[in-house]
């Protein structure tokens, strides 16, 4: 068994051991996004959505002047090979957008997702 497959199997085990902390997220990859200045529309192509388990590490509630909720997410990079600004997420029955990418450590992504409150 190679180190790569050993690490992948240990990550799967870790997410299984988290049980109810690991929740399903649906990820929709948006590719080829471009803005048409003539018509004022966004042209994009979406791939088929994929569902996998993630762990919500932290949640930031909105302040009085900002009406957004931010969650910090931990996911396997095998589930999400690449993150782009236009990608969409459905988590806990809400639609979210990509916030900041906090860390990409080879096999693990740590990133923020944002939605309006």
Q: How many CB atoms lie within 10 A of CB 116?
A: 12
Which pLDDT does position 63 carry in this prediction? 67
How many domains are contained in the chain?
Answer: 1
Q: Residue 45 belongs to what H/E stretch?
A: strand 41-46
Summarised one tens digit per residue, pLDDT across range 76-111 is 888 888 888 888 999 999 999 999 999 888 888 999
3-state secondary structure of 84: coil
Percent of the chain scored above 90 by pLDDT?
32
Percent of the chain scored above 70 by pLDDT?
98
Place of tokens 């388990």: 53
3-state secondary structure of 115: strand
User: pTM (2 decimals)?
Assistant: 0.78
pLDDT band at 14 (very low <50, low <70, confident <90, very high): confident
Closest by CA to 92, choosing from 39, 53, 35, 46, is 53
What does the alpha-carbon distance between residue 6 and residue 107 come to, in Å, rounded to a whole number? 12
**Domain span at residue 50?**
3-116
């Amino acid at each position: 068994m190679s180190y790569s497959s050993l690490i992948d199997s240990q990550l799967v085990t870790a997410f299984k051991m988290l049980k109810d902390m690991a929740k399903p997220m649906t990820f929709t990859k948006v590719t080829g996004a471009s803005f048409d200045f003539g018509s004022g529309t966004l042209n994009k192509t979406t791939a088929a959505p994929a569902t996998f388990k993630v762990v919500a590490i932290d949640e930031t509630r909105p302040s009085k002047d900002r009406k957004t909720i931010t969650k910090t997410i931990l996911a396997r990079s095998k589930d999400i090979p690449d993150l782009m600004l236009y990608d969409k997420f459905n988590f806990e029955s809400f639609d979210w957008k990509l916030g900041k990418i906090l860390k990409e450590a080879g096999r693990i992504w740590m990133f923020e997702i944002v939605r309006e409150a």
